[in-house]
Amino acid sequence: MSHGVLLAYILNAIVAKNMQQFVLWTVADFAVFTLLGILLFSTSWLRSILIQKMSTQLRLDIAQNVTSGDYAFFHRHDTGTYGSWLTNDITMIESQGFACFFLIIQLICDTGFTIVAFLQFHWSLIVISFLLALATYGVPQLLHKQMAVANLNVTHANEKLLARAQSLFKGFDTLFSLDLQRHIPADLKEPAEALAQAQVKESVVQAGMNGIAGYSSIISQITLTAWTGLLVLWGLTSIGTIESVGNLSFNILNSMAQLGPVIVAIQAVQPLFAKYVPAPANPQAAEKKQLPAAAAGPIQLTNLSYTYPGSPKAALRSITVTIAPTQKVAVTGPSGVGKSTLLNILNGKLTNYQGAAEIAHIPLQQINSHSLRRTLLYIDQQPYVFAGTVRDNMNLGEHYSDKQIMAALQQADLAAFVQDLPAGLDTPVGEDGRLFSGGQRQRLALARGMLRQRHIMLIDEGTSALDRASALTVENSFLKQADLTVIFVTHQLHDENKALFDQVIQLS
């Protein structure tokens, strides 16, 4: 704005052949640009910091919302979708949301300063520029809906590509063993092309908005310059005003030309936030009951059964059983009779079961979910091992001493192996525990459970990947813990420790 005003003074000085005024205003113009350069660097640096702070907070909010609900709420989408939200979506929100927000502030300031500058010349310039600015701003709004649809299509295409890529790359070892890894690029072709098409359509809409806005800006600048020429011819302003208005009109009209597409871009990313809603509030949450903290109560199952939605056959047939505190119970039976389903019901993952289930004389559906997981621990037959170190996989965000961790690893028959690793507890385990065998991953998962000293432990085929001697060592370690209730799903009971079980439930 200052440069535009100074141009008028410089041109007037030239017309008047006033060397002193010419030098004065030229030096002032140089000083203004020097100050502007410093200001632009400072604001750019600060804007970058603020955008990254907002992006980080948004990522944390999304993670909080995704994990705030129950098991079913989290599994509405696969992990590839959530990964896309935290990467591709955030990138789009940064460029079309946060960056555009700061750009709007800049454009509004530029427009305001330009209007003040016009007051130096003639009041009619403000009126004419205001009307032209409204037209320049409004025309790109016609493409608002198309931009919103294009953005959503890009985010959905990103989610599908990331999910497919994640699945294929995680299964690389399997494909490699079958000599099928060469098919990975072909399998990625369809989602990659779909993303490319979505991005092209988004670019076309964006180009349309920018083109319309740019054309409107040029027509408006010509109109404003012509009006200024008339003011000069009528003797209402000096000839230097033409130079200044030509410069200043670019500021205000170009700002309005950008403002239209920028606001459309911000509006277009708003639908993305509808995907990140937290879990709906449970009006009955306050009425949920807490399990006793000191010890586990009895587990009572009465005519308990479960049928998966859409399946004509029951996954778990009716079962009635009572498990007293600290009892060790084996659940056996052929594949498909509901052994894992039973554990998933007790773990709170499956809620729409038939019959009744109680823990410590409290109906399972009335137990606070956090209280349930602090009392009961479920160990999956295919335990997940996180990228990181052995210590990371034991702590899982909490903190335990080396002594506590090694004691738990000893109970899981893994202490000697960890001690022999190059960095002990601080040895990386590889992606998905790739550097550990299947049996070692199972023992690591068991050690995580033993470290947390839950009152009830649900173990789903927890020793299936171990050799007989190791399986007996691990099983005996938790079967001999007097204060622990154990429900152990297995396909095979060992004669050596079968007597340590208080009950054997045979499902059929």
What is the predicted pLDDT for the residue at 231?
85
List the beta bridge partners of residue 67: none
Model confidence at 302, pLDDT cuts 50, 70, 90, reads very high
Model confidence at 427, pLDDT cuts 50, 70, 90, reads very high
Tokens 């690893």 belong to 409
Query: What is the pLDDT averaged over residues 189-193?
Result: 89
Model confidence at 119, pLDDT cuts 50, 70, 90, reads confident
Q: Are the CB atoms for 338 and 317 separated by under 8 Å?
A: yes
What is the predicted pLDDT for the residue at 497?
86
Query: What is the pLDDT averaged over residues 144-156?
Result: 85
Domains of the chain in start order, with CATH, are: 50-276 (1.20.1560.10), 288-506 (3.40.50.300)
- Digit-coded pLDDT (tens) for 209-221: 878 877 887 888 8
- Digit-coded pLDDT (tens) for 238-264: 777 777 777 777 777 777 777 777 777
Rounded Cα distance, 464 and 152, in Å:
45
Query: Containing H/E element for 332?
Result: strand 328-332
Rounded Cα distance, 227 and 245, in Å:
10
Which value, in Å, is the radius of gyration of the alpha carbons in the chain?
A: 34
Residue 223, CA atoms < 13 Å, CB-side half-sphere = 18
Per the model's pLDDT, the better-predicted residue between 72 and 404 turns out to be 404
**Residue 177: is its pLDDT beyond 70?**
no
Rounded Cα distance, 71 and 74, in Å:
5
Give alpha helix (H) positions in 94-183.
99-118, 123-138, 144-170, 172-177
3-state secondary structure of 4: helix
DSSP 461-482: STTTTS-HHHHHHHHHHHHT-T
Amino acid residing at 168:
L
For CA atoms 121, 125, 127, 129, the dihedral sign is negative
Is the pTM above the cut of 0.85?
Answer: no
Q: What is the mean pLDDT of the chain?
A: 84
Query: What is the pLDDT averaged over residues 193-220?
Result: 85
What is the predicted pLDDT for the residue at 152?
86
Model confidence at 7, pLDDT cuts 50, 70, 90, reads low
DSSP 429: -
Rounded Cα distance, 426 and 441, in Å:
16
**Residue 193: is its pLDDT beyond 80?**
yes
Angle between helices 240-273 and 123-138 (to 10 degrees): 30
Residue 72 CB neighbour total at 10 angstroms: 12
3-state secondary structure of 456: strand
Q: What percent of the chain has pLDDT over 70?
A: 95
Residue 166 CB neighbour total at 10 angstroms: 16
What is the predicted pLDDT for the residue at 178?
63
**Residue 1: is its pLDDT beyond 60?**
no
Model confidence at 175, pLDDT cuts 50, 70, 90, reads low
What is the predicted pLDDT for the residue at 275?
85
What is the predicted pLDDT for the residue at 181?
77
Per the model's pLDDT, the better-predicted residue between 311 and 245 turns out to be 311
Which range (173-182, 278-287, 341-350, 490-499) has the least confidence?
173-182
Residue 223 CB neighbour total at 10 angstroms: 17
**Residue 500: is its pLDDT beyond 60?**
yes
Query: What is the pLDDT averaged over residues 411-440?
Result: 87
Rounded Cα distance, 175 and 180, in Å:
5
What is the predicted pLDDT for the residue at 174?
63
Look at residues 306, 302, 304 and name the one whose alpha carbon lies nearest to residue 336.
306
Query: Containing H/E element for 222?
Result: helix 184-233
Amino acid residing at 398:
E
SS3 content of the chain, % helix, strand, coil (to 5): 65, 10, 25
Backbone phi, psi, residue 6, to 5°:
-65, -30
What is the predicted pLDDT for the residue at 4?
58
Which of 100-114, 234-248, 321-335, 489-503 tops mean pLDDT? 321-335
